[in-house]
Amino acid sequence: MHNKTIAEIARDLRNKQYSSVELTRHFLDRIQQHQELNAFVSVADEHALGQAEAADKALAAGDAPLLTGIPIGQKDIFCTRGIKTSCGSKMLDNFESPYDATVVEKFKQNGAVMPGKLNMDEFAMGSSNETSFYGAVRNPWNVDCVPGGSSGGSAAAVAARLVPAATGTDTGGSIRQPSSLCGITGLKPTYGRVSRYGMIAFASSLDQAGPMTRNAEDAAILLQAMAGFDGKDSTSVEQDVPDYRAELNNSLQGLKIGIPKEFFSSDLNADIAAVVNSAIAEYQKLGAELVEVSIPSLNQSIPVYYVIAPAECSANLSRFDGVRFGYRCENPQDLADLYTRSRGEGFGAEVKRRILMGTYALSAGYYDAYYLKAQKIRRMISEDFKKALSQADVLMGPVSPSTAFGIGEKTGDPIEMYLSDIYTIGVNLAGLPGMSVPAGFVDNKPVGLQIIGDYFAESRLLNVAHQFQQVTDWHQQIPQGFE
Amino acid sequence: MEWETVIGLEIHAQLATKSKIFSAASTAYGAEPNTQACAVDLGLPGVLPVLNQKAVRMAVKFGLAIDAEIAPYSVFARKNYFYPDLPKGYQISQFELPIVGLGHLDIEVDGEEKRIGVTRAHLEEDAGKSLHEDFHGLTGIDLNRAGTPLLEIVSEPDMRSAKEAVAYMRKLHELVRYLEICDGNMQEGSFRCDANVSVRPKGQAEFGTRAEIKNINSFKFVEKAINHEIERQIDVIEGGGQVVQETRLYDANKDETRSMRSKEEANDYRYFPDPDLLPVHIEDALKQEIQATLPELPAAKKQRFINDYQLDNEAANTLTSSRELADYFESVVKQSGCETKMCANWVTGDLLGALNKAALEITQSPIENERLAGLLTRIADNTISGKIAKQVFEEMWKGEQSADEIIESKGLKQITDSGAIEAIIDTIIANNPNQVEQYLGGKDKVFGFFVGQVMKETQGKANPGEVNKMLKAKLKR
C-alpha cells in the first residue's frame, strides 16, 4: 500500500481494494515503526481514523473528491484546529490553533485524512531541520544525514513512505532542497498561487506553500487541492486554477531549456553537475533544445535574501511575546522581564540570530543601506529571471550544491549552512515557481534537478517533470529499510 | 521678552466603519472586553490582514474635502514596538506614502480667517486597551479596540495660539462629522488629539524645541494643556534652562503636563512596507465617484446661509457648526415660511440656549423642527406675540403638544379686536389721572406704565404694536 502513488491509491479506494481506515492504519503503523526518523511532531491517530471513517462513507456514497480518504501529512507550520501547531518551536509547544489554515481547510474539503504534523526547522529557519525544538529529522537514505530543511519532516516522511504525500513551504528553498536531499518531487508554486492564511509567517513576501510527493502527477493532484485565490490573503492572486494534470502528457518536442551559466560555475560539485547534466541530456533525447542564458545578479541572491527574510521575520515574530499565547516565562517580574525571558527562552539560536539581523537591517540609519538596497537588487534579480525566461520555456540547474550532509556537520557555521540555498533563493526573490525532481544519486544519496518556470506556469513545470519521470526511475527508488 | 507659540496638531479620527480596518470584527463601542476581537485582531499565528475598502473611501473623502492630493499609490507599513495591547508587536500604519497628501483647512479666530496646512492624513489601526484596575497589581488587556480604523490627520506647525489650535480642532471635528466619516465622540475616544508645542522669541525664524502632548480628549483640555505647556516652556527658558524634546502627558485633574519619555527613550519604529498588504491604488474614476458623494461643506454652507438667508457671520457660523443643526434650521425656515432672521434667532437663541442648559445635542432636541416651525408661523401671522411665544416654547419643550394645541388649550391667542383693547385703554386712562398728567407733562417713561397695564389686563395677549399705536393716539400731547 505504502509504495503506491496518490493516483493509484485513489483508484484502489474506489475499487474497494482496501478502505481508507485500513490505509490510514497502515500509514499510522509505519509512522509508529519509524519514529527514529523523528519526522513527526504530532501524530493524530484518532483524528485521522475519524476522518478515514467519514471518507469511507463518502466513498461508498460515490462522487467523493479525488483525495478522499488519502493521508496527507501537514508541515507543522500550518494551523490545525484542535491539533498542536508548534512551527518547530518551544515558543508554540503549547499552542493549539482555534482555526484551520486555508490549505488545511482545502484538504479537508477534498476529503483528505490528516495523520499528523511534520517536523521542520524552527519557524522554517534552517536548511537541515536541525533547528527544530523537537530535534533533527533523519534522512531515510542515510540516517546519519540531514533531510534538508526547512520542510525536512515532510521530505523524510514521503521518502520513507510514512505518508503518500505531504505539504511543505518554501521561503528560500525549503520545499526544493529537502526534496532533492530525500529524492522526492517538490514544487514551490508561484508566489500568490496558494493562500498563506494560517501558515505561520516567516518572510511574508517569500513564503509559499506547495506539495511534496513521490512524482509529478501526485504533485499536480495536491496542487489542484491547494491552489486558488483566498479572500483572506491579500497577496493571493485572483487567477483561475487550471487542471494541473491536463498537460502532463504533452510532448516536450521543441521545448527550450534555458541553462543559466551561473548555475554551473566552477563552485558546483562535479558529481552533482554530472547528475544534473545527464538529466538535461535525457531531456534532449525527449526533443528539448538547450539555450544558454544568464542571470548575472544570481550571486547577489544570498545577501539580498539574508536582509529581506530576517527583516520581515523580525516583525512577523514580534507577536510571540508571552502575552496572549505560546510560551511564557515563569514568574515574570515586570513587563520587560516577561518579554525578554519569554522570547529568550522560547526561541532557539537560529531564530534569534535572524531576528537580530532583521532588526539591525531595519534600524534607523541602516534601512537605506540594507533593506532598501536589498529591495532594489531583488527587482534586478526578478528582471534577470524574466529576461532568461523570455529566451526559454523553463530553466534547469541543480537544487542544492551538495547531497545530504551529516547531522551536526554544518551547525557550527551559519554561513556555510546559508549557502545550501544558493540555487533556490533567487526563485523565491523573483516569486517564480520551481521544482525539484529526483535525477540521480551521488554516493547513494539522492540528487535533484531544479526546473524553474515562468509565473503561473505550474502546468508546464509539471508536464516537464512528468515526461522525465516517464523515461527515468529515479523517483521510484526506495531507501533501504523502508521498502 | 515677547514669545511666539508654534503649534501643530495630530488628530486621530476613528473612521465610522462597521467592521475593523483589517478584519471583519465589529467596531461597536462598549462591548464586554475581548468579545469583538477575532483571530486577526488577536494577532494569532498565521493570520493575515485584509484591507477594509470602506476605510479607504472615507480617507479619500476626507482628502477631497480639504482639497488635498490623493495619492494614486500609497503603502501600508509596519510600525514596530512592543506593548501588551499591541497584539502583533507592530501597528499597521502608513509611513512614507500616505493616502492623503498636502491639503488645508480654514479657521476663524476673533473674526480673522486663517489657513492651516494639513501635511498629510494616513490610515492605520488602533491598538487595544490596557486596564490597570481590578486586576490586583496585574494588567488586563482588552483587544476590542485593536484594529479599529483611524485616520491620523497631521497639521503643519501653522497655529500660533491655543485658541487657534482649538479653532482648528473644532473645524476638523465639524468636517469629519459633515462627511459622516467619524462620529466625533470624544468621550469614547473617536476623536483624539496630540499637540506639538514650542515657543520662540518673537521674530525668530527657526522653531524652538518642541514637546508633544499626548492624548488630549476635549476641546477644553486642548486649550488648557497647550496654555499650560506654553507657560512651562517660557518658564524653563527664562529660568536659563532648555526645553527638551519629549513626550508629555496632560493630567486634566491637576491641569499640568508631565514628562512621559524623552527623545533618547523614544522607540526606533523600524518602519518598513507591510508585505502582507498590497499597495493601495486610487484611480481617478474612484476619486470622481467619491467627489460626487461629498456633501455641501461647512464653508460653502456658511456662505450660502449668509447670501440666501441674509444672516450675519456669527449666526451663519453657529448654524453651520454641524450638519444636523444646519438641516434643522433650514427645515424650520422652509416649513414656517417665516423671515429667516427670526428663524435664526429662535434656533441660535432660545433653542440652542435650552439645549446647552440641558446638555443635549441638536439631534436630541425635545422640540422637533416641525413643532418649532409651527410656533414661528403663529408669531408671523400675529396669532401670538413674541413674548407669549416664549411661554409656548417652554410648554412645547416639556411635552409633545404643537404650538397650536398649546395656544388653544391655554387661550393664548392674541386679542386682535381693537374695540376690546380700546375699551381697556380707556378704563386705564380714566383710573390713572396722575400718570396721565405726568406723561402729558413730558415724562416719556410713564408710557411704559400704560403699556404694562394693558398687557396685564389682557394677560399679554394684546398685540404690543397695536397697543402702542392706540395708546399714542389716546394720549396725544
Strands A256-260 and A394-398: parallel
Average pLDDT, integer, range A273-286: 98
Residue A43's Cβ-side half-sphere holds a number of Cα atoms within 13 Å equal to: 19
Position B54: which residue type? K
Distance from CA of A374 to the nearest CA of B (A): 13
Which of A78, A362, A368 has the highest number of chain B CBs within 10 A, making it the mutation to test binding with B? A362
- Contact present, B79 and B91 (Cβ < 8 Å): yes
Chain A partners within 8 Å of B47 (Cβ): 197-198
Task: Tell me how far apart the alpha carbons of residues B285 and B288 are, in angstroms, rounded to a whole number.
Answer: 5
Q: Strand B103-109 vs strand B112-125: parallel, antiparallel, or unpaired?
A: antiparallel
Q: Is B141 on the interface with A (CB under 8 A)?
A: yes
- One domain for residues B424 and B402: no
B273 membership: H or E segment, kind and range: strand B272-273
- Cβ neighbours of B44 in A, within 8 Å: 79, 97-99, 319, 325
Residues of A classed as catalytic: 75, 150, 174
Residues B137 and B244 in one domain: yes
Q: How far apart are CA A104 and CA A445, in angstroms?
A: 32
What pLDDT, in 10s, does the model give residues A37-50? 999 999 999 999 99
Cβ within 8 Å, pair B46-A324 = no
Query: Chain B closest CA to A105's CA: distance in Å?
Result: 14
CB contact under 8 A, B275 and A312: yes
Optimal mutation site among A319, A320, A368, interface B, most CBs of chain B within 10 A: A319
Contact between residue A393 and residue A467 where contact means Cβ atoms under 8 Å apart: no
For residues B47 and B88, give the distance between their C-alpha atoms in angstroms, rounded to a whole number: 10
B78 SS3 class: strand
Distance CA B122, CA B95 (A): 8
C-alpha torsion angle, residues A286, A289, A292, A297 (rounded to 10): -60
B266–chain A Cβ distance below 8 A for any pair: no
Please report which confidence band the pLDDT of residue A454 belongs to, taking 50, 70 and 90 as the band edges: very high
Q: In terms of Cα–Cα distance, which of A184, A168, A177, A255 is closest to A218?
A: A184
B168 CB-near residues (< 8 Å, 6+ apart) = B9, B105, B107, B116, B155, B159
Domain housing B307: 298-410
A23-A154-A144 Cα angle (round to 5)? 110
Mutate to test the interface with B, among A316, A334, A370 (most CBs of B within 10 A): A316
Cβ contacts of B326 within 8 Å, gap of 6 or more: B301, B305, B319, B320
C-alpha grid cell, residue A279: 538529466
What are the residues of chain A with a beta carbon less than 8 Å away from any beta carbon of chain B? 78-79, 85, 87, 92, 95, 97-99, 101, 196-201, 203-205, 231-235, 311-312, 314-315, 317-321, 323-326, 335, 339, 359, 362-364, 367, 371
Which chain A residues are Cβ-neighbours of B95 within 8 angstroms? Answer: none
Please give the residue of chain B at the shortest CA–CA distance from A358. B270
Same-domain pairing of B232 and B341 = no
Question: B130 at the A interface (CB within 8 A)?
Answer: no
Asked if B140 is an interface residue toward chain A (Cβ–Cβ < 8 A), one would say no
Rounded-to-integer distance, Cα B165 and Cα B160, Å: 8
- Per-residue three-class SS string for A106-172: HHHHCCCECCEEECCCHHHCCCCCCCCCCCCCCECCECCECCCCCCHHHHHHHHCCCCCEEEEEECC
Q: Are residues B341 and B378 in the same domain?
A: yes
Both B208 and B316 in one domain: the answer is no
A150: preceding bond cis by omega (within 30 degrees): yes
- The count of domains in chain B is 3
Residue B89 to chain A, least CA–CA distance (Å)? 5
Give whole-number Cα distances, B213 to A474, B11, B95, B196, in Å: 69, 12, 21, 6
B406 in the same domain as B332: yes
**CATH assignment of the domain containing B438:** 1.10.10.410
Please check whether residues B47 and B188 belong to one and the same domain: yes
DSSP3 helix / strand / coil % (chain A, rounded to 5): 45, 15, 40
Task: Please check whether residues B304 and B245 belong to one and the same domain.
Answer: no
End-of-domain residue from the set B393, B410, B427: B410
B166 vs B108: CA distance, rounded Å: 10
Interchain proximity B276–A204, CB inside 8 Å: yes
> Is the CB of A197 less than 8 angstroms away from the CB of B277?
no
Cβ under 8 Å to A: B residues 51-80? 51, 78, 80
Cα B47 to Cα A300: distance, rounded to the nearest angstrom = 31
Claim to verify: residue B318 and residue B425 sit in the same structural domain: no
A198 vs B474 pLDDT, higher one: A198
Rounded Cα distance between A454 and B356, Å, is 69
Residues B357 and B396 in one domain: yes
The closest alpha carbon to B203, from B421, B2, B440, belongs to: B2
Cβ-based burial of A88 (10 A; exposed 0-12, middle 13-18, buried ≥19): buried
Provide the shortest C-alpha distance from residue A462 to chain B (in Å): 28
pLDDT tens-place string over residues A410-423: 988 888 888 888 99
Residue range A382-402, pLDDT digits in tens? 999 999 999 999 999 999 999
Name the domain boundary from B410, B430, B452.
Answer: B410
pTM over 0.80: yes
Say if the Cβ atoms of B46 and A335 lie within 8 Å.
no
**Chain A interface includes B440 (CB < 8 A):** no
Q: Judge: A204–B45 Cβ closer than 8 Å, yes or no.
A: no
> CA nearest A103 in B: which residue?
B46
DSSP state of B146: T
Residue of B nearest to A325 (CA): B44
Selection from A74, A294, A283 nearest residue A167 by Cα: A74
Given CB atoms, is B45 within the 8 Å cutoff of chain A? yes
Among A194-203, A285-294, B265-274, B448-457, the minimum mean pLDDT is found in B448-457
Q: Does B275 touch chain A (CB under 8 A)?
A: yes
The two most distant CA atoms of chain A are separated, in Å, by 70
Query: pLDDT in tens for each of the 477 residues of chain B?
Result: 899 999 999 999 999 999 999 999 999 998 999 999 999 999 999 999 999 999 999 999 999 999 999 999 999 999 999 999 999 999 999 999 999 999 999 999 988 999 999 999 999 999 999 988 878 888 899 999 999 999 999 999 999 999 999 999 999 999 999 999 999 999 999 999 999 999 999 999 999 999 999 888 899 999 999 999 999 999 999 999 999 999 999 888 888 888 887 776 778 999 999 999 999 999 999 999 999 999 999 999 999 999 999 999 999 999 999 999 999 999 999 999 889 999 999 999 999 999 999 999 999 999 999 999 999 999 988 888 888 899 999 999 999 999 999 988 887 787 767 778 888 888 888 888 888 888 888 888 888 888 888 888 888 778 777 788 888 888 876
Query: Which of B19, B48, B86 should be substituted to probe chain A, the one whose Cβ sees the most A Cβ atoms within 10 Å?
Result: B48
Nearest CA in chain A to B24: A232
In the block, residue with C-alpha cell 529499510? A481
Beta carbons of B46 and A79 less than 8 Å apart: yes
Q: Is B28 on the interface with A (CB under 8 A)?
A: no
Tell me whether residues A315 and B87 touch, CB distance under 8 A: no
Instruction: Please say whether the beta carbons of B219 and B166 come within 8 A.
Output: yes
Contact A89, A346 (CB under 8 A): yes
Please, where are the H alpha helices in A205-255? 216-226
Q: What is the grid cell recorded at A428?
A: 523565491
All three cell numbers of B430, joined, read: 380714566
Contacts of A325 in chain B (CB under 8 A): 44-45
Picking from A7, A8, A13, A9, the residue whose alpha carbon sits closest to that of residue A61 is: A13
Domain end (from B380, B410, B440): B410
User: Is residue A405 helix, strand or coil?
Assistant: coil
* B21 at A interface, C-beta within 8 A: no
Q: Which SS3 state, helix, strand or coil, does residue B239 take?
A: coil
Domains defined for chain A, CATH in brackets:
6-254 (3.90.1300.10), 300-375 (no CATH)
Determine which helix (DSSP H) or strand (DSSP E) holds A393, and give its type and residue range: none
SS3 for chain A, per residue?
A: CCCCCHHHHHHHHHCCCCCHHHHHHHHHHHHHHCHHHCCEEEECHHHHHHHHHHHHHHHHHCCCCCCCCCEEEEECCECEECEECCCCCHHHCCCEECCCCHHHHHHHHCCCECCEEECCCHHHCCCCCCCCCCCCCCECCECCECCCCCCHHHHHHHHCCCCCEEEEEECCCCCHHHHHHHCCEEEECCCCCECCCCECCCCCCCCEEEEEECCHHHHHHHHHHHECCCCCCCCCCCCCCCCCCCCCCCCCCCCEEEEEHHHHCCCCCHHHHHHHHHHHHHHHHCCCEEEEECCHHHHHHHHHHHHHHHHHHHHHHHHCCCCCCCCCCCCCCCHHHHHHHHHHHHCCHHHHHHHHHHHHHHCCCCCHHHHHHHHHHHHHHHHHHHHHHHHCCEEEEECCCCCCCECCCCCCCHHHHHHHHCCCHHHHHHCCCEEEEEEEEECCEEEEEEEECCCCCHHHHHHHHHHHHHHCCHHHCCCCCCC
B223 and B317 part of one domain: no
Crossing angle between the packed helical segments B386-398 and B369-380, to the nearest 10 degrees: 160
Cα–Cα distances (Å) from B47 to A347, A376, B77, in that order, read 20, 28, 17
Torsion A315-B26-B72-A236 (CA) sign:
positive
Closest alpha carbon to A70 in A54, A87, A82 = A54
For residue B419, the model assigns a pLDDT of: 79
Nearest chain A residue to B140 by CA distance is A323
Question: Using CA atoms, how far apart are residues B87 and B42, in angstroms rounded to an integer?
Answer: 6
Of all residues in chain A, the one with the smallest CA distance to B84 is A323
Looking at the fold, whether B104 and B159 belong to one and the same domain comes out as yes
Do the chains contact at A232 and B50, CB–CB below 8 Å? yes
Q: Give the residue on B whose Cα is nearest the Cα of A362.
A: B270
